[in-house]
Structure 1
Amino acid sequence: MAETACRVLLVLGTSAGGVGRHVRMLAEGLAAAGHRVVVAGPASTDRAFGFSGVARFAEVPISDRPRPASDLRAVARLRALAAGADVVHAHGLRAGALAALAPGRRAGLVVTLHNALTASGAVGAVYGVLERVVARRADRVLVVSPDLGERMAALGARHVAPAVVPAPPLPPPGRTPAEVRAELGAGERPILLTVARLAQQKGLETLLDAARGPFEGEAPLFVVAGEGPLREPLQARIDAEGLPVRLLGDRADVADLLGAAASLVLASRWEGQPLIVQEALRAGRPVVATAVGGVPGMVGEAGLLVPPGDAGALRDAVRRLLAEPGLAARLAAAAPRRPLPGPEDAVRAVLDAYEDARR
């Protein structure tokens, strides 16, 4: 497949972060290697990630929740687009299931699952059905963590392999740590950085519980970069309890924030291969994170891992990192040595998957 030009249809649903960045990286890398690439997804994704700058973009209404009328239109549109493709590569459960349901598909189907199923109730039941559709109809399923792979194999997936999801390089910092600290009003306090969508999956209530302390001396400043549906309730709690936490909203200066931070802190209930963890490791920052999904394999000896939902363990890990400079220095030194994939590795891996899917 790598030696012959391939017609690739990349499909994604609504995305504001890692999935969109990953698809953009693949589109750019595949096009640069001489393959014909079409990206299909909601118009908002093209505005956010500039797909039309590196490939042809086709608008397809793939929403983040089941919507029967919209989903039927999406399936019809994907059927038409897939007719001109050698391989359809869908990203995420919703996009993968809709691509699998498009009748008349002759192209090979590869689905990358970037997240675990966390919904419950009626929505969770629907997503459970979509998981089985993907497991049974996809020619190849790529997963971002071992637990996802085990689940898909149990549901009947024929071929499951690890996904390669590298973080695109961050631009160099544009400001000094002192300038960032001044903007944030940190004073002499250590800065603990979280970069996450403000949503249930990210465990931010646990982060706020941990931020209550107690800490030795003055509490560190927890800063959270990101937006999402939980912003108002999180801010209300921060204000009501006087927590040492600042919600910064979406930020384009993550490299600056990492440069000023003592550590990256993630309290997520589940993660795959979070891009921010890779970015922190490349920046030489220690990581305090929950031991979920693909995080332990990424962090290795460059961080401290705690159980998800355990605010006490998260607080104690932060306290230990701040109280033991030698430990912090060892973790920071180990961070840039972690073996992390690059864009070339990701493109090579998907081309191998495409070749296998067409056999």
Structure 2
Amino acid sequence: MSLATSPSPYGRTPLHAVQVLGGGSAGSSTHVRSLASGLAARGVRVTVCAPAEAERLYAFSGVGAQHVSVPRSAEPACLAALRLTCADADVVHAHGLHAGLRAALALSGRRTPLVVTWHIRGHAEGARARLLRVLERRVAKAASVVLGTSSDLVDRARRHGARDARLAAIALPAPRKAVDRDDPDLRRPKLRAELGAVDRPLLMAVGALEHHRGYDVLLDACRALRHYDPVPLLVIAGEGPLRAEIGRRIEAEDLPVRLLGRRDDVRELLTAADLALVPSRWESRSVLAQEALHARVPLVATAVGGMRELVGDAAELVPYGDADALAAAVVRLLDDPVRQERLKDRGEQQAATWPTEDDTVTQVLSVYDELTQMWPFGQA
């Protein structure tokens, strides 16, 4: 018996939940795959509306969901396709603001409940920032329930008019492919040699090469770290519009930094690092921060968004935009192995408090149950 046809716990036709993705960031797409798997295993009929590329990368159909290719666009044809897919949905669950807007437009005139998960906070300036606020208000007011991945996002949704905003139980999904840990004592030096950090500290950052990630500040900190002996090597895994600009600066200033591009082995690479760095302007549930604490890699991060809520006292937190503070925190940790071990132990304890994938599915099912009791199944 397939997951999708497992007996429904509702004693009737299985509840139909449509998941709507926009462009599908790595975090939201991985979350939707995990959620779809858990929902299908509990007898829910799951349809994932996402671009074809997202299906190729995350294989939603491989975990019991049906995939419907819907491009990330608010054009009439795309909205019509989304509206058709949602025609028999009992609940529609959109992930991200743009997906939330498209879902709200597709459900216009229907009573189908809409859940929107805000995974991240949008970043824009000037006129685009005003448009972003309009989008946030539109989505917050259209949603039956907004699930925010951090408390500040929940508060933001409420300020923008959400009738019901709650903190989401977002889990860090298990890796899709097992990491080779047969002999970690041998694998770690091999990875460090491949990265060029045999006799020097290895620092690691991960994320799209975009302005809000704080890479300009991180490069400033690396310039200051050139005076440390031996000079640490920073590796950055990720792609984005700033790659050429960052590359030029690395070369012009002779910075000890390597751009690795997009990698699908970040968890394995992290096991070779001495420190993980998150210099972002804003973060919710940073995947790198979670991976670092799970892997017992000391973390230095900016005290922004939901970071303190996520890591507690299991990391060195510094103000955003302060390159000197970031560099000083790195030096303090590199010079203090005892502090490193203390953070590793705290990290394991903190990670044990985070929601599991089962917690995530349980919360979402509870929300669906609540909403579908208000709007009976199949009622448009």
Q: Which amino acid aligns with 2:46?
A: V
Deviations 1:129-160 (A, max 9, x none): 22111111110000011221111111111110
- Between the aligned partners of 1:274 and 1:48, the Cα distance in structure 2 is 20
Query: 1:259 maps to what in 2?
Result: 271
> Which structure has the larger Rg?
2
The counterpart of 2:358, out of the listed 333, 344, 349, is 344
Shift of 1:93: 0.2
Give the TM-score taking structure 2 as reference length.
Answer: 0.89
Query: 1:66 maps to what in 2?
Result: none
Shift of 1:183: 0.2
Q: Which amino acid aligns with 1:7?
A: H
- Secondary structure class of the residue paired with 1:197: coil
CA separation of 1:297/1:284 partners in 2, compared to 1, >3 Å: closer, same or farther?
A: same
Query: 1:43 maps to what in 2?
Result: 52
Runs of 5+ unmatched residues, structure 1: 64-69
2:138 is equivalent to residue 141 of structure 1: no
The counterpart of 2:19, out of the listed 6, 10, 13, is 10
TM alignment of 1:57-76, pairs within 5 A: 57-63=67-73, 70-76=74-80
Deviates further, 47-56 or 168-177: 168-177
**Are the aligned partners of 2:9 and 2:42 in contact in 1 as well (CA < 8 Å)?**
no
Give the TM-score taking structure 1 as reference length.
Answer: 0.94
Q: Which amino acid aligns with 1:281?
A: L
Q: Which amino acid aligns with 1:31?
A: A
**Are the aligned partners of 2:270 and 2:295 in contact in 1 as well (CA < 8 Å)?**
yes
- Secondary structure class of the residue paired with 1:320: helix
**Are the aligned partners of 1:110 and 1:357 in contact in 2 as well (CA < 8 Å)?**
no
- Between the aligned partners of 2:44 and 2:31, the Cα distance in structure 1 is 17
Shift of 1:346: 0.8
Q: Percent identity?
A: 46
Aligned residues: 352
The counterpart of 2:179, out of the listed 158, 172, 182, is 172
Query: 2:222 maps to what in 1?
Result: 211
**Are the aligned partners of 1:173 and 1:253 in contact in 2 as well (CA < 8 Å)?**
no
Query: 2:4 maps to what in 1?
Result: none
- Between the aligned partners of 1:135 and 1:194, the Cα distance in structure 2 is 32
TM alignment of 1:5-154, pairs within 5 A: 5-54=14-63, 55-63=65-73, 70-102=74-106, 103-154=108-159
Deviations 1:3-41 (A, max 9, x none): 423210000111241111111111111111111000001
Q: Which amino acid aligns with 1:234?
A: I
**Are the aligned partners of 1:9 and 1:87 in contact in 2 as well (CA < 8 Å)?**
yes
Query: 2:307 maps to what in 1?
Result: 295
Deviations 1:196-215 (A, max 9, x none): 11112211111111111144
Shift of 1:218: 2.0
Shift of 1:182: 0.7
Query: 1:304 maps to what in 2?
Result: 316
Runs of 5+ unmatched residues, structure 2: 1-7, 375-380
Shift of 1:126: 2.4
CA separation of 1:265/1:73 partners in 2, compared to 1, >3 Å: closer, same or farther?
A: same
- Between the aligned partners of 1:93 and 1:231, the Cα distance in structure 2 is 26
Shift of 1:111: 0.1
Deviates further, 250-259 or 181-190: 250-259
Deviations 1:222-254 (A, max 9, x none): 111111111111111111111111111112222
